[in-house]
Every structure is written in C-alpha cells, then in structure tokens.
C-alpha cells in the first residue's frame, strides 16, 4: 500500500491515486466494524505515510469518512445500474437489482453498515441518493406500465413498495449470511414482486 501512495505518472494522477489508496485503507479498517478506530493518525499509520499527507487530501476525519461513503455508494449505484440496464424485461431487471444488492452486502456490507451507524454519510450524498432513488423508481415504473399494462399511478405505488422491500431483503440476509440464503431470498423477492405487480394489473382490468 505504501508503494501505491508513493508512485504515479504525474502530479494530478499521483494525487488521485494517493487519495484513493488512503480511502482503501480506511475501508479495510471499517470492514472490521470499528468506525472509532478510523482516525487521521490510524489511517496514516496503516498506510505507512505521514499525517500531513493524509491532511493534504482530507481536512478532517469527517471529510475522510464522507468521501469514503460517497465513493462506495457511487460504486454500488454504477454497478447496479449497469446490471439493470443489461437485463431484458421487468422480472430480469428486478432479479439483477436484488442479486446485485445482495452481492454488495458480501463485498461492502460491513463498510456501509459501519459508516451509516457512525453518521458517515454527508448531507449532499443523501440528496444525491434521493435523486438516484427517484430516477430508479421512474425507470422501473415505466417498464411496469409498458410490460404489464398498469396505470401509471398504480405502477408507481406498486414499484415504490417493491423497491422499498430491497432493504427488508438485505435485513433478512444479514441474519444468515450464506450464498444459499442469498439465492433463496432473491427468488422470494422476485416471485413476490412479480406476483404482486401482475395481480395489480389483473385487478385494474376487472
């Protein structure tokens, strides 16, 4: 890690690489579940760099944690968006969403949980997340209207419930972290979501 902080082809690239490497160190520390252990001094020690170098990139601990949350949430959003966009049809879109979210629990779940518990999410990131959530709702709603023939009002309400259930599914997974449980939960989520939406479509026709 120290070598990655010391090398780079140019000043801008080197600075970006050093900042990302420091965030990597902080993420590794957070993955152990102890947010209080992440300080400017401990990150510098773990990265084997000087404290002034850490302060060069982050003015304080709150800024460091906020930057880490922003990076991790952006990565997750990009990953899930790519998977959903590549899916064909509403059922596969929902499957891509829930499987991606469950997969992220394995890779980054501890980091997100620790940051959230320690108020590591800055206000502007919350605003960005609300905008992403609204865009996701519109995208899935449009697909439900086109594919299932739902009225937009009903589709919006139904998809809001379906998307809101992602967090409940992740909560269930955290009680039993295993690949088999993740597969089982994904199947239940997709079956219940599609079953409910199709029933909503049938009721609107009657």
Q: Which residue has the higher pLDDT, 60 or 13?
A: 60
- Residue that finishes a domain, picked among 12, 30, 59: 59
List, for residues 155-180, the tens digit of each pLDDT value: 999 999 999 999 999 999 989 989 99
CB 1 within 8 A of CB 21: yes
The answer to which of 4-8, 42-46, 53-57, 129-133 has the lowest mean pLDDT is: 4-8
| Co-location of 88 and 52 in the same domain | no
| Co-location of 168 and 117 in the same domain | yes
| Co-location of 152 and 175 in the same domain | yes
Residue 89 has pLDDT above 90, yes or no: yes
| Co-location of 77 and 43 in the same domain | no
Please tell me the predicted confidence (pLDDT) of residue 142.
Answer: 97
Q: Could you please report the per-residue DSSP string of 20-70? A: HHHHHHHHHHHTTT-GGG--HHHHHHHHTS-HHHHHHH-SSHHHHHHHHHH
| Co-location of 119 and 44 in the same domain | no
Domain of 102, CATH number, reads 1.10.357.10
Domain of 42, CATH number, reads 1.10.10
Residue 119 has pLDDT above 60, yes or no: no
- Average pLDDT over the chain, rounded to whole? 86
Residue 21 has pLDDT above 90, yes or no: yes
| Co-location of 53 and 75 in the same domain | no
**Could you tell me the pLDDT band of residue 71, with boundaries at 50, 70 and 90?**
confident
| Co-location of 139 and 159 in the same domain | yes
Separation of alpha carbons 94 and 116, rounded Å: 25
**Could you tell me the pLDDT band of residue 9, with boundaries at 50, 70 and 90?**
low
| Co-location of 122 and 197 in the same domain | yes
| Co-location of 25 and 122 in the same domain | no
List, for residues 30-41, the tens digit of each pLDDT value: 877 778 888 999
**Could you tell me the pLDDT band of residue 122, with boundaries at 50, 70 and 90?**
low
The pTM of the full predicted model, rounded to 2 decimals, is 0.77
**Could you tell me the pLDDT band of residue 14, with boundaries at 50, 70 and 90?**
low
CA distances from 23 to 16, 37, 43, 52, 130 (A): 11, 14, 9, 15, 24
How many domains does the chain contain in total? Answer: 2
- Residue that finishes a domain, picked among 42, 59, 76: 59
| Co-location of 86 and 154 in the same domain | yes
- Residue that finishes a domain, picked among 59, 75, 92: 59
The residue range of the domain holding 79 is 62-205
| Co-location of 55 and 116 in the same domain | no
| Co-location of 13 and 49 in the same domain | yes
């Amino acid at each position: 890690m120290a070598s990655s902080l010391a090398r780079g082809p140019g000043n801008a690239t080197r600075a970006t690489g050093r900042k990302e490497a420091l965030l990597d160190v902080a993420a590794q520390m957070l993955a152990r579940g102890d947010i209080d252990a992440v300080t400017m001094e401990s990150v510098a020690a773990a990265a084997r760099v000087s404290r002034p170098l850490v302060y060069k990139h982050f003015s304080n601990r709150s800024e460091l944690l906020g930057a880490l949350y922003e990076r991790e949430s952006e990565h997750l959003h990009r990953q899930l968006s790519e998977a959903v966009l590549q899916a064909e049809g509403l059922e596969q879109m929902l499957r891509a969403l829930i499987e991606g979210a469950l997969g992220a629990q394995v890779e980054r779940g501890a980091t997100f949980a620790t940051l959230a518990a320690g108020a590591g999410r800055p206000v502007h990131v919350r605003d960005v997340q609300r905008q992403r959530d609204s865009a996701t709702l519109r995208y899935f709603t449009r697909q439900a209207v086109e594919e299932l023939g739902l009225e937009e009002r009903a589709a919006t309400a139904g998809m809001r419930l379906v998307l809101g259930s992602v967090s409940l599914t992740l909560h269930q997974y955290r009680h039993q972290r295993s690949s088999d449980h993740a597969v089982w939960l994904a199947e239940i989520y997709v079956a219940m979501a599609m079953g409910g939406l199709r029933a909503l479509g049938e009721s609107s026709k009657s």
